[in-house]
Every structure is written in structure tokens, then in C-alpha cells.
């Protein structure tokens, strides 16, 4: 067994734990069976969940035994938000999302070997339990005064809306998960985000009260931007792991645009590069910031991990081609669609004047400005310089019969989409 706890500390993945000395001894004596839960609150996992999945993988690579729990029952209830009551999703919707999440978590954890991942659904042991059983066998171990002190619950109690008993009971259901896995699978460690600490302790406390046993918790920090806001959000919304919800191109661009001040920490958390490799990339960021070597390494590693090598190669090719360093015509239709979807866009009829298209796409403020840009050699359609102020867009210029890429200068990009 490697000293995985030191590795997690170095990568900035330990925000809080129960007795660290005892946890270190347990991991050293291993293998330890551990679990992390993922609730189906959407059709896909997101970047925040990726922190947990990769933490699980690091523990698995160190020889420990992972259980990935998909919350078919807890997903029907919803973890209390500090601000407002959740909208309950239909049972059929939650069941569909459970299937999606099972497939996603299985891609990040090894299935074979003595410590292959077990993927479980907490609906399997919660659904057969009667309300009387839940109250007598589980509820009696919970103290309401302790439940009221949980951060999300306390915040809701202070609000005008208050909190329903449904959401208040969420911590009982999550605590039940740890007890069930302790009893049936010998699970003694739960991991999760620090924002879930109240729910994590509900489980460890329940195991202690019901079984008289001590178990372990390990919480990772929230990954935040330099301004303190949660990482994994863009102007377009959440960064999802499903390629139909966040395209591989958009996913790649999210990582390649990481700030210099954060890229080292992101490499530690989201890649499996060695300490030496990461320190070299951090040094490159200081010495050659314009090269963005660390950002490109980060984007390639994480996009490959989530979407595979082929999708990553296409994302890299599209990124280069958009700025004139590659062949736009060589990109497949899906990649062109995804790349142009990230740009300002103008809809145009065949034969439209390039001058009008530059204005409609927002690259210049006026037709006069568009003519000057062309005259000065700063206008491009599909990376080909436009030299005629009366130029129009013909069918031979269309990418996959629908798209053109417009550029003003070196960095200002927009897209054109054929009408109909």
C-alpha cells in the first residue's frame, strides 16, 4: 500500500477528516473498502463530481476497494439547498438518470481485479423498508437537535420558506447508506465534498450508534476560482461530463482557459501527472506564461480522461484551426458544430456579402468598419484572407454545407450559419 493520504494532501484533496492518525493507520494496513455517493439530480455528472471520482480512483490505485453509490432513493428526495426547496423529479426521470450515472461512474474506476469497483443503488435497500422500520430501526439513532445544526438545515430554518420534513429527512437516508454498506460490504470509509460534511457525519454517527463501531470520513475541498466562486461554472452554465450537454470542444476550452494562478492546483486535482511533471509545468507558467503549456497539458489530460483520445484530438484540431493554425475543412461535422456553437453567430443567406456578415456577427460595428477591415487585410473567412470589399459567401466556402468561420485580426472570431 502506498501512503495515499500524503499523496492526497499534496494534491490539495484533504479539507477535513475524522481522526487522521486512525485513518492513516487503516489505509496503511488496508485494503480499506470505501464509498462515495452520487445523487441523480440531473441527467449527467458534472465537474464537481469529477473531483470525487478521481479521488476514488487514486484510492483504488493505492489498493483500496471502491463502492460507487448512485442515489436512486436519495435522488427522489434531494439534498437540502441552503436557499430554497428542491423541485421533486418524477420517479421515471430519476430512474433514467440513475442509469446514466451508473454508466458514467463505471468509466472512471477499474472493474477488474481484487479491488474492482462495486456500483450500487441505495433504492435497493431503502425501497423495501417500511416507514415503521425506518423510524424504529434507524430514526431512533438520530437526535433532532444535532440534525437542526446541519448548515443547510439551519440556513433554511432562518428563511421565510423554512424546510419540509421531506428534505429534513435526507440526512437520515444518507446515513442509512453508510450503515448498510458497513454491515453488508465491510465499508469503513466515506468520501465526499466538504460541503457535504454534515451528511457525511450523519452516516458515521449512525454506524457508531447502531453498531458501536468507529468509521472514517474524508472530505475534499470545494474547487474555487480566484474570486472565490465555484469552479466548473461558465457563462453558459455547468460543465457537464456528458458530451451531449457540454461538447468535448467546449469542455477542452474550459480547461485550456484556466488562469495561470490556478493551473498548478488544477493539475494536481484533475490529472494523474507526477509531482515532477506538475512542478515543471508550474515553472513553465512562470517563465513562459504566453505559451500556456500547463493549460494545454491540463486540457488534453482531462478531456482525454472524460471523452477519450479521438474527441480530444478533434477538440485540439478545432482549437488550432479556428485561429488559422490548422485545416478547418478537415474537421468533422460534429466538431465544427460544437466549435461554432461557442462563438457569436450570424445567420445568413447564400450569396450574402462578407461585409454584412462581419457586421451581423458583431466583429465590426458598421459596414464602413467592415470595409476598412477588409482593405487593411484583417478579415478572414475560413482562415482565407478576404481581399475584395464586394466579396460574397458562395457554396464552395461552406463547411459541411452549413457553416463559415469569420475572423477579424488574430483573435476575434465569429461564426456564420446558413439560413434554413
Q: Kindly write down the DSSP assignment for every residue of 292-319, as one continuous string.
A: -HHHHHHHHHHHHHHH-HHHHHHHHHHH
Sign (positive or negative) of CA dihedral 320, 344, 247, 348: negative
Same domain, 230 and 360: no
Same-domain check for residues 9 and 76? yes
Q: How far, in Å, CA of 338 to CA of 333, rounded?
A: 9
Is 186 within the bounds of a domain?
yes
Closest CA to 124 of 160, 81, 71, 164: 71
Length of the chain: 420
% helix, strand, coil for the chain, step of 5 = 50, 15, 35
Q: Which of the listed residues 220, 242, 258 is the one where a domain comes to its end?
A: 220
pLDDT band at 229 (very low <50, low <70, confident <90, very high): confident
Q: Are residues 414 and 392 in the same domain?
A: yes
H-helix or E-strand containing 65? strand 65-70
Q: Residue 234's pLDDT is what?
A: 64
CA 124 – CA 130 distance, rounded (Å): 13
Q: Please write the tens of the pLDDT for every residue from 178-219.
A: 999 999 999 999 999 999 998 999 999 999 999 999 999 999
Verify that 210 and 242 share a domain, yes or no.
no
Query: Where is the domain boundary, 220, 254, 271?
Result: 220
Residue 393 domain boundaries: 343-420
Q: 377 and 352, same structural domain?
A: yes
Q: Are strands 33-38 and 65-70 parallel, antiparallel or unpaired?
A: parallel
What average pLDDT does the structure give for the chain?
93
Same-domain pairing of 368 and 308: no
Eight-class DSSP state of 404: E
Beta strands 379-381 and 403-408, pairing class = antiparallel
CB 378 within 8 A of CB 395: no
26 and 75 co-located in one domain: yes
Task: Give a yes or no: residue 192 inside a domain.
Answer: yes
- Is residue 338 a part of any domain in this protein? no
Same structural domain for residues 17 and 79?
yes
For the segment 69-107, what is each residue's pLDDT rounded down to a tens digit?
999 999 999 888 888 888 899 999 999 999 999 999 999
pLDDT value, residue 233: 65
Contacts 24+ apart (CB under 8 A), 322-327: 322/405, 322/407, 322/413, 323/407, 323/410, 323/411, 323/413, 324/380, 324/383, 324/407, 324/410
Per-residue pLDDT band for 228 (boundaries 50, 70, 90) equals confident
pLDDT at 146 over 70: yes
Determine, yes or no, domain membership for 409: yes
| Cα–Cα–Cα angle for 415, 417, 419, rounded to 5 degrees | 155
Q: Are 121 and 144 in contact (CB under 8 A)?
A: no
CATH number at residue 318: 1.10.240.10
Q: Please give the tally of structural domains in the chain.
A: 3
State whether 321 and 397 are in the same domain. Answer: no
Question: Is 336 among the domain residues?
Answer: no
Lowest-confidence pick of 36-40, 89-93, 222-226: 222-226
Q: Cβ(69)–Cβ(35) under 8 Å? A: yes
Distance from the Cα of residue 96 to its chain's centroid: 19
Domain final residue, candidates 170, 189, 220: 220
- Report yes or no on 132 lying in a domain: yes
Q: How far is CA 313 from the centre of its chain?
A: 20
Q: How far is the C-alpha of 395 from the C-alpha of 361, rounded, in Å?
A: 19
Same domain for 13 and 148? yes
- Looking at the structure, do residues 321 and 358 belong to the same domain, yes or no? no
Q: Which residue has the higher pLDDT, 25 or 325?
A: 25
Measured CA to CA, the distance from residue 71 to residue 105 in angstroms comes to: 12
Sign of the dihedral defined by the CA atoms of residues 35, 39, 40, 45, in that order: negative
Are 82 and 198 within one domain? yes
Q: Tell me if residue 378 falls in helix, strand or coil.
A: coil
Kindly tell me if the per-residue pLDDT of 227 is higher than 80: no
Amino acid at each position: 500500500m502506498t501512503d495515499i493520504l500524503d499523496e492526497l494532501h499534496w494534491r490539495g484533496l484533504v479539507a477535513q477528516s475524522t481522526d487522521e492518525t486512525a485513518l492513516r493507520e487503516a489505509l496503511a494496513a488496508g485494503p480499506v473498502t470505501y464509498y462515495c455517493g452520487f445523487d441523480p439530480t440531473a441527467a449527467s455528472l458534472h465537474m464537481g463530481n469529477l473531483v470525487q471520482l478521481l479521488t476514488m480512483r487514486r484510492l483504488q490505485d493505492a489498493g483500496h476497494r471502491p463502492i460507487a453509490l448512485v442515489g436512486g432513493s436519495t435522488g427522489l428526495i434531494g439534498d437540502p439547498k441552503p436557499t430554497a426547496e428542491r423541485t421533486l423529479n418524477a420517479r421515471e426521470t430519476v430512474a433514467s438518470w440513475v442509469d446514466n450515472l451508473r454508466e458514467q461512474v463505471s468509466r472512471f474506476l477499474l472493474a477488474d481485479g481484487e479491488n474492482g469497483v462495486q456500483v450500487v443503488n441505495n433504492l435497493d435497500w431503502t425501497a423495501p423498508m417500511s416507514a415503521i422500520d425506518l423510524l424504529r430501526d434507524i430514526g431512533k439513532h438520530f437526535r433532532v437537535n444535532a440534525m437542526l445544526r446541519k448548515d443547510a438545515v439551519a440556513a433554511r430554518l432562518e428563511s421565510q420558506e423554512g424546510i419540509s420534513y421531506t428534505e429534513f429527512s435526507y440526512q437520515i437516508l444518507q446515513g442509512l447508506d453508510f450503515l448498510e454498506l458497513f454491515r453488508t460490504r465491510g465499508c469503513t470509509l466515506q468520501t465526499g465534498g466538504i460541503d457535504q460534511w454534515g451528511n457525511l457525519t450523519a452516516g458515521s454517527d449512525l454506524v457508531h450508534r447502531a453498531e458501536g463501531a468507529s468509521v472514517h470520513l474524508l472530505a475534499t475541498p470545494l474547487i474555487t476560482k480566484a474570486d472565490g466562486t465555484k469552479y466548473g461554472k461558465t457563462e453558459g452554465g455547468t460543465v457537464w461530463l456528458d458530451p451531449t450537454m457540454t461538447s468535448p470542444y467546449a469542455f477542452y476550452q474550459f480547461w485550456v482557459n484556466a488562469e495561470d494562478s490556478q493551473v498548478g492546483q488544477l493539475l494536481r486535482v484533475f490529472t494523474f501527472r507526477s509531482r515532477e511533471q506538475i512542478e515543471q509545468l508550474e515553472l513553465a507558467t512562470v517563465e513562459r506564461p504566453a505559451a500556456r503549456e500547463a493549460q494545454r497539458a491540463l486540457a488534453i489530460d482531462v478531456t482525454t480522461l472524460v471523452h477519450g483520445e479521438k474527441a480530444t484530438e478533434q477538440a485540439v484540431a478545432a482549437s488550432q484551426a479556428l485561429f488559422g493554425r490548422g485545416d478547418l475543412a478537415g474537421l468533422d461535422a460534429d466538431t465544427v458544430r460544437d466549435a461554432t456553437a461557442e462563438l457569436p453567430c450570424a445567420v445568413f443567406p447564400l450569396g450574402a456579402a462578407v461585409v454584412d456578415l462581419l457586421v451581423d456577427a458583431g466583429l465590426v460595428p458598421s459596414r464602413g468598419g467592415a470595409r476598412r477591415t477588409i482593405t487593411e487585410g484583417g478579415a478572414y473567412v475560413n482562415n482565407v484572407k478576404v481581399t475584395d470589399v464586394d466579396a460574397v459567401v458562395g457554396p464552395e466556402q461552406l463547411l459541411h454545407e452549413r457553416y463559415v468561420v469569420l475572423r477579424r485580426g488574430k483573435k476575434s472570431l465569429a461564426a456564420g450559419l446558413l439560413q434554413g
